Copies of this chain bind each other. A is one copy, B any other.
Amino acid sequence: MKSNHVTLKDIARILELSPSTVSRALKDHPDINEETKKLVKTFAEKVNYRPNALALSLRQQKTNTIGLIIPEIVHHFFSSVISGIEDIAYGEGYNVMICQSNENYQREVIDTQALIDHRVDGILVSVSKTTRDFKHLQNAYDNGIPMVFFDRIVEEIKTDRVITDDFLGAQIATSHLIEKGCKNILHLAAPQHLVIGSRRKEGYLKALEEHGIETDEDLIVKCDTREYVFSLQQHLMKLIEEKHIDGIFAVNDSTAIATMQALQAEGIKIPEQIKVIGFGDGPNADIAYPPLSTVEQKGYETGREAMRLLLQRLENPGIEINFSTKVLTPTLKQRKST
C-alpha cells in the first residue's frame, strides 16, 4: 500500500534543510530567518502537512480510514453489516466512510475512484446488482489497496471474501416447511443471474429431493419484492388453488410478509391453511402478522468477519497471507407463520 502523506523529514529533505530547522521554522522560532520561515510554512501548507492531529497516522503513513461500498443502506442486512464493520473498525482506531452505490454501476465506479483519491487504507465492497464490469475494482486492487468482498462477491478478483451459505439456508427453510407437514411448496424466487437467487432455488430443490418430494417447475415463480407480490396476486391465488399449495418459501422476508398480507386479504389463514417462511430475519419479521418464521442471515457477523480479514492485511503490510473465504451459516428462526 502506498501513501503520500508528507512527514517533517520529507519537507526537510526536499527543501534541503535540517529537520530541526523545519521544526523551528514552523514554530516561528526567532533563530530562523524570515525567508526560511516563509518558505517552510508555505510549503507545509501546500503539501497539507499536519503536525499535530495526524501525527500518528503520518508516522505510520496511514489515513486510518476504511472505505465501504454498499448497494443499499435501507436494507436491514446491509445496515447490520455496517454495524459489524464499524464495531471492529472504531475499536481498532479506524473510521469508516460509507458510499452507497444504490444498485447503480456508475455510482459504484465514482465511489471507488473517490475512495482511491481519498487514500483510504482499505476497501470493503458488496457489488451492485447492475455491475457487470469490474475494472474499477480491479484498478483499486492494482493500486495496492487491500480489499475484502462480502455477500455479493466478484469471482474474477482474487481477494478475501465473506459470504452466506445461501444453499444451506434455503434447504433449512424448505425442510422446516416439510417437517411441519407441507407437501406442495411454492418458491418465490429472485432472478437467477444473481448468485443468491440461484443458490437459494437450488437449496429449495435439494430439500424437496431429500424428502422424496417431486419437483414441479410451475411452483417456482420469479417474485422477489413486495410490489411484485401485489402485481402477481391473481396469478398466485390461482396457482395456490390449483396446486393445493400448503407452504411458501419466499427468497426474502419482505416478499414473504407481502404474501401473507395478500393471502389474508383473500381470507386464507396463516399458518393453519398455508405456512410461510422467509429469508433474512430483519426487524420486520417480528412486526409481521403473524410474526414470520425465517432463516437468519448474519449481517452483523458478516461485517465483523469482513473487517477482521481486512485488518489482518492492514496490520501485516508486505507479508504474504493466503486469501481466505469465510462462509457463514444461517440458522432457522421459527415464529408463528409456520
A residues with a Cβ closer than 8 A to B are 4, 6, 10, 14, 42-43, 45-48, 50, 53-54, 63-65, 73-74, 76, 79-80, 82-83, 86, 90, 95-100, 102, 107, 110-111, 113-114, 117-119, 257, 261, 283-284, 287-289
Q: What are the 10 A-B residue pairs with the smallest beta carbon separation, nearest first? A: A289-B289, A4-B48, A74-B79, A98-B98, A97-B97, A95-B114, A47-B47, A118-B118, A73-B79, A73-B73
Residue among A42, A64, A114, A261 having the largest count of chain B Cβ atoms under 10 Å: A114
Contact A111 B95 (CB under 8 A): yes
Copy number in this complex?
A: 2
CB-based contact A98/B95 at 8 Å: no
Which residues on the B side are within 8 Å of A42 (C-beta)? 14
Known interface pairs A76-B74, A117-B50, A287-B284. Does A99 touch B96 (Cβ–Cβ under 8 Å)?
yes
A103 to B299, CA, bound (A): 20
Q: Give Cα A183–Cα B65 distance, bound, in whole angstroms.
A: 55
Residue of B nearest to A285 (CB): B287
Contacts of A4 in B (CB 8 A): 45-48
CA–CA, A118 and B63, complex, Å: 9
From A50, which residue of chain B is reached at the shortest CB distance? B117
Considering the chains assembled together, what is the distance between the CA atoms of A113 and B63 in angstroms?
11
A43's nearest neighbour on chain B, judged by CB, is B14
Cα distance A46–B76 in the bound complex, in angstroms: 42
